[in-house]
């Protein structure tokens, strides 16, 4: 029995091992357990690590809120993990209730111009006196120069949108002669390198136990997940067809927009 724990890449690896074992007619059961803070595995309600990451991300947002509110024309800017999906940024923004602008990879936006993000930040400083912005690391990549370089896993190395955003905000307010005190917080691996919270610990325990039950039942090439509130076995081939993304037309994203009060930046 082989248990593979991880995200989409690990699941693809598990499927390759499963297929090779079938070709060789080996008595090997390959079962995966979904673990990724990005929550981007298809058909899964939630993956192990996501709840903990969101909870930890809230601490960074709270720090940015305190810093921004304590300064004259303070702008708190938080960059959270999320290369291609904005689930952490969306859920952390919604749960904190302190975010004025949330930017994610799935939703395009403009920074400059009358309807851009920077113009909205001007309005917030005028009316509130401070603001807090949350960005996912993969947001706004179309606004940055692409390097086409890849890491050891073959993933495209993203340009740092958080630093770009920080510089754009500073330059914009300097150009219009308005003081803006930008506080940039990048918690990076702090959101994932921490002990699992109670919710995640229970989820992981149940998924692990179910994976073992599946292997003992003779299944292979499956993953143990929670789908539509039910614990279930799903074929790995189905869940790795494409990553799960935030649906810009979903109720959850609209709840986030209602919470932040941000306009459509186009």
> What pLDDT tens digit does each residue of the chain (266 aa) get?
999 999 999 999 999 999 999 999 999 999 999 999 999 999 999 999 999 999 999 999 999 999 999 999 999 999 999 989 999 999 999 999 999 999 999 999 999 999 999 999 999 999 999 999 999 999 999 888 776 777 776 677 778 899 999 999 999 999 999 999 999 999 989 999 999 999 999 999 999 999 999 999 999 999 999 999 999 999 999 999 999 999 999 999 999 999 999 999 98
**Domain ranges in the chain?**
2-47+196-240, 50-194
Domain 50-194 homologous superfamily, CATH = Phosphofructokinase domain (3.40.50.460)
Cα dihedral sign, 56-206-38-131: negative
Phi and psi torsions of 19, nearest 5°? -65, -40
The C-alpha R_g of the chain, in whole angstroms, comes to 21
CATH topology match: 2-47+196-240 vs 50-194:
yes
Phi and psi torsions of 59, nearest 5°? -65, -40
Minimal CA–CA distance to 53: which of 92, 86, 85, 79? 92
Is residue 38 annotated as a catalytic residue, yes or no?
yes
Catalytic residue among 38, 40, 51, 200: 38
C-alpha distances in angstroms, 11 versus 111, 113, 202? 37, 43, 22
CATH number for domain 2-47+196-240, candidates 2.60.450.10, 3.40.50.450, 1.10.8.100, 3.40.50.150 = 3.40.50.450
pTM of the full predicted structure? 0.94
Torsion-angle region of 12 (φ positive above 0: left; ψ -120 to 50: alpha; else: beta) = alpha
């Amino acid at each position: 029995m082989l248990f593979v724990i991880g995200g989409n890449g690990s699941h693809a690896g598990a499927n390759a091992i499963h297929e090779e074992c079938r070709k060789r007619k080996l008595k090997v059961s390959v079962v995966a357990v979904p673990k990724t803070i990005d929550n981007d595995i298809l058909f899964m309600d939630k993956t192990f690590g996501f709840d903990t990451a969101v909870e930890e991300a809230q601490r960074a947002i709270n720090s940015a809120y305190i810093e921004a509110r304590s300064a004259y024309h303070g702008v708190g800017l938080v960059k959270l993990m999320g290369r291609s999906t904005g689930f952490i940024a969306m859920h952390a923004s919604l749960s904190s209730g302190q975010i004025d602008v949330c930017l994610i990879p799935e939703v395009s936006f403009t920074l400059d111009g009358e309807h851009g993000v920077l113009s909205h930040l001007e309005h917030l400083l005028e009316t509130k006196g401070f603001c807090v912005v949350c960005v996912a690391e993969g947001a706004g990549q179309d606004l940055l120069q692409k390097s086409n370089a890849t890491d050891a896993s073959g993933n495209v190395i993203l340009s740092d949108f958080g630093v770009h955003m920080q510089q754009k905000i500073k330059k914009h307010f300097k150009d219009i002669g308005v003081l803006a005190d930008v506080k940039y917080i990048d918690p990076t691996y702090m959101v994932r390198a921490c002990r699992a919270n109670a919710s995640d610990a229970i989820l992981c325990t149940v998924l692990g136990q179910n994976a073992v039950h599946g292997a003992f039942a003779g299944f292979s090439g499956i993953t143990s997940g929670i789908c539509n509130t039910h614990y279930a076995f799903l074929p790995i081939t189905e869940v790795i067809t494409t990553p799960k993304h935030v649906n810009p037309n979903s109720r959850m994203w609209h709840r986030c927009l209602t919470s932040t009060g941000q306009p459509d930046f186009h």
